[in-house]
Amino acid sequence: MTRRHPRAAWAAALLTAVVTAGALTGPPAQALAGDAATGGAYAFTAKIDIGGVRACSGTLINNQWLITAASCFTDDPAQAAALPTGPPARKSTATIGRTDLTGTTGEVRDIVELITRQDRDLVLAKLATPVYGIAPLRPTATASTEGEALKGAGYGRTKDTWIPDSLHTAAFVTGQIQDTAVSIDGTPVCKGDTGAPVFREKDGRLELVAVASTSWQGGCVGSEETRTGAVASRVDDIRTWIRESTASTLNVWKLQMVTKTSSGLYHAMRDSNGDWTGFGDVQKVAGTIEDVKFAADAAISGKNYVFALGGNGHLYQANRRATGGWEAFRDLTDEIGAKPGLTRVAVTSTGKGLALIGLADGRIYHTVQDSSEKWSKWGDVTAKLGTLGNATQVTTAQTSGGETHVGVVADKKAYHAIRQADGTWSESWGRVSNLPTGLDSINGMAFAGTGSDLQIGLSSPTGDIKHAIRAGTGSWSTFGNLSTKLGPHQPSISIDAAAVNGEFQTVIVTTDGKIRHALRHTDGTWDAADEPTGYPGTPIMAAITGSTS
């Protein structure tokens, strides 16, 4: 068992302010004494300039907040816990994503607010405006263990350079574990590295374990010390505090997601800061459905409607209220009619109601729920628009004006039709595959309505994913490469999309069992892809919707 000692007993011997300050005048201190980061790696690391008299490092943990050491912002590092909440005393800026400091990549933001953690050398730093396109490093929920191999990145001095031009990386081994801190040793932690991230790699993902605080500085240029040990503040036990402290930058919109995995049906949400909740077991709160085959969801205001297709071929509906409680699953068979052979469903909000699309025995069906939550019987869309051979996927979305768009993948081709607000349908299926999609074969399609525009994602068996926009006038944009927005190239087995506060968001489930998410802002820029974690089992499909709660 790891022995626990008061932090002061083993940290007091360290040079308490050693890591914190690197004067930016004559000469500045800027980078860890390890290897230079290459290829934009660890872009979540921030260089923090505090009034032109001190430099530190930090970590982007969501799109508008950094975490770093409180001692960076105090003239007396021993008084870090007394740092007041509010604007920093000196004008402070953060450069994020510029791993090569001679370049112009990344983002620069003013730091406008500090929120201090009282029991350890930690502070949250609010940025003036959000940072998009740089993937944050999320705090872990698992404490480090003694002897664990960790990594780090920072902008402090190196072993031979006062002013390096790039972010440097580190290798550490965890020593003693304290209630609020861990000791680390390995690569020297130098001036300018205070607040630097200390992280682990788990299942191919990085997660923040601790934040550098104090150091002996052995091996750093200008130091005669030989000891290389350092102290870092833990973050694994304060995730609730982080979430509550950063809530001031949230808006009311959330992305809600249900995923069918090898273990069951689960629900999670992503807020406007880019943070994901944990995955809750839907069947524990809404009732058990035997052998769930497929799921879909849509939202009206703050209420999320979840649909699950059972192994008996019946379709069930549950509701998650805006307050967070659930209404139990109910069998819709008596309301909408039985559809033997039902394998896929897709649903969209119509403003006050829902439109549901079903695929059964190769035919496409449609039903609507009105504002009183009463359903119509299934209508046969195939009888109106014609038969599509070997249909495998369906998607739907509504655009302003009341048009319900329906998409079908059949014979590895993509088709599109429209149900007008008056209930009439387009004359026949339009073949999206006739457009220059750049895909020879299609295995998935997802729609999202943003105003009068229909945004579409297409996936192929080879892993290529395309995105385009159909304007309200009926014209189509060029198909862009969405694969590059969703991370490493990997074939997908599921794709879905949603409009959240006017922004296009999409998720895929890859053949190697990962959920990946991407977001396109209203100005056409894309955020960095992220991967929600913590779902039990292996994901099989994921469905998303936008909600105001």
Check if the beta carbon of residue 163 is closer than 8 Å to that of residue 28: yes
Tell me: do 206 and 355 sit in the same domain.
no
Tell me: do 212 and 320 sit in the same domain.
no
Tell me: do 136 and 285 sit in the same domain.
no
Range of the domain at 184: 7-244
Q: How much is the pLDDT for 161?
A: 57
CA-nearest of 348, 345, 346 to 402 is 348
CATH code, domain with 49: 2.40.10.120
Residue 518 lies in a domain: yes
CA pair distance 290, 298, nearest whole angstrom: 22
The one-letter amino acid at 530: D
Tell me: do 137 and 18 sit in the same domain.
yes
Tell me: do 196 and 339 sit in the same domain.
no
Domain total of the chain = 2
Strands across the sheet with 303-309, in order?
294-300, 303-309, 315-320, 326-331
List per-residue pLDDT tens for the chain, 549 residues long: 333 333 333 333 333 333 333 322 222 223 455 566 656 789 999 999 999 988 999 999 999 999 999 999 998 888 888 899 999 999 999 999 999 888 999 999 999 999 999 999 999 999 999 999 999 999 999 999 999 999 999 988 666 555 567 898 989 999 999 999 999 998 878 888 899 999 999 988 899 999 999 877 766 777 777 777 899 999 999 999 999 999 999 999 999 999 999 999 999 999 999 999 999 999 999 999 999 999 999 999 889 999 999 999 999 999 999 989 999 999 999 999 999 999 999 999 999 999 999 999 999 999 999 999 999 999 999 999 999 999 999 999 999 999 999 999 999 999 999 999 999 999 999 999 999 999 999 999 999 999 999 999 999 999 999 999 999 999 999 999 999 999 888 999 999 999 999 999 999 999 999 999 999 999 999 999 999 999 999 999 999 999 997
Residue at a domain's end among 196, 227, 244: 244
Tell me: do 166 and 223 sit in the same domain.
yes
Check if the beta carbon of residue 488 is closer than 8 Å to that of residue 510: no
CA pair distance 231, 503, nearest whole angstrom: 42
Helix or strand or coil: residue 364?
strand
Q: String of b and e for 337-366 (b: at least 16 CB within 10 Å)? A: eebeebbbbbbbbbeebbbbbbbbeebbbb
The one-letter amino acid at 157: R
Residue at a domain's end among 214, 244, 274: 244
State the burial class of residue 131 (Cβ atoms within 10 Å of its Cβ: 0-12, 13-18, 19+).
Answer: buried
Residue 198 lies in a domain: yes
Residue 1 lies in a domain: no
And the tokens for 200? 């682990």
Tell me: do 225 and 310 sit in the same domain.
no
Q: How much is the pLDDT for 359?
A: 98
Residue at a domain's end among 198, 215, 244: 244
Tell me: do 198 and 291 sit in the same domain.
no
Tell me: do 332 and 202 sit in the same domain.
no
And the tokens for 39? 């290829």
Tell me: do 269 and 343 sit in the same domain.
yes
CA pair distance 179, 193, nearest whole angstrom: 22
Q: How much is the pLDDT for 7?
A: 35
CATH code, domain with 326: 2.120.10.80
Residue 2 lies in a domain: no
Residue 202 lies in a domain: yes
Which single residue is written with the structure tokens 């350079």? 161
Tell me: do 20 and 169 sit in the same domain.
yes
Residue 58 lies in a domain: yes
Q: How much is the pLDDT for 487?
A: 86
Residue 493 lies in a domain: yes
Q: Considering the entire predicted model, what is its pTM?
A: 0.89
CA pair distance 465, 458, nearest whole angstrom: 5
Kindly state the DSSP code that residue 172 receives in the 8-state scheme.
E
Check if the beta carbon of residue 171 is closer than 8 Å to that of residue 230: no
CA pair distance 363, 92, nearest whole angstrom: 61
Q: What are the angstrom distances between the C-alpha of 454 and each of 104, 272, 351, 427? A: 35, 22, 16, 19
CA pair distance 52, 50, nearest whole angstrom: 6
Q: Kindly tell me the sign of the dihedral angle through the C-alpha atoms of 58, 15, 225, 25.
A: positive
Residue 346 lies in a domain: yes
Check if the beta carbon of residue 69 is closer than 8 Å to that of residue 121: yes
Tell me: do 193 and 155 sit in the same domain.
yes
Check if the beta carbon of residue 518 is closer than 8 Å to that of residue 526: yes
